[in-house]
Structure 1
């Protein structure tokens, strides 16, 4: 909710990333209670996954003033999501992996140029999750790979949230200083 006040695209990106695991967890609890809750189609989860991270990258670029890159990222992902009926399951996996890597690399680039350590950390965590997802490991340190990936992405999202908050504060301080200079 706080990120929504900074940038609505980032708020929606965080919401979409949290929505799929939340619904999966709710479906498990419902099943343990004997309730029959259908989670929905895997297509919805794929679209949510493919659109959420580029929305975060969009926010990073937009707040940094790079509106053209932000629009290209978002437009490309929306075209990809709209054309998903033409992709095979393997194609969807490759597309989701590619979107994760592109979004995390572009956030990394913006974070390096702005000196935002939280953005750099979040991008590296997401990159590690993307590389780990491509391996054939089933378990890592006594945990299922899926759980490790969720923990890595949760840490990346928390770091990106702090990065966006820091970037927004720097912009506010910069504009407040600029207003003070013009008032003098």
Structure 2
């Protein structure tokens, strides 16, 4: 007996227990509604997963900056030269990734992830890397673990949504993020 045959048999037996046409109509509407709800839930889940994968892939295509390189290039040249991360500070979100691990297929995962946002993204990243932000991130830097930084510039009005997307895409609440993000009033 195939799955389709089993569904037909269950459907037939179910409707025999509810003899009036009105009962059958209500039950048919209910069953069809349930099927539609399940299909919509599956579709929404798949769509959200694809969107998160796209956010992650887009961020990962950018060249990473190691924590050491970021701090070395905080200021390049003389003060006021306009060079280095300190001089090009803008609004954006950041992802701090610790200890990359590659599987056999070459896909990378990370031991720890921290996602955040700031009107001055480079200053905020520097704060984390120098012990004035997330203590877990700083502990990794102090322990000499490989730490890389990726930043996404965006308008201040988009910071909350971008941060939430990045936290979801990197599943950062299972790591160093304690919330799902996006709670700053802007």
What range is the shorter-chain TM-score in?
under 0.3
Tell me the TM-score normalised to structure 2 length: 0.23
- Greater RCO between the two (CA within 8 Å, min separation 6)? 2
Normalising by structure 1, report the TM-score. 0.24
Based on CA coordinates, which of the two structures has the bigger radius of gyration?
A: 2
Q: Higher helix proportion, which one?
A: 1
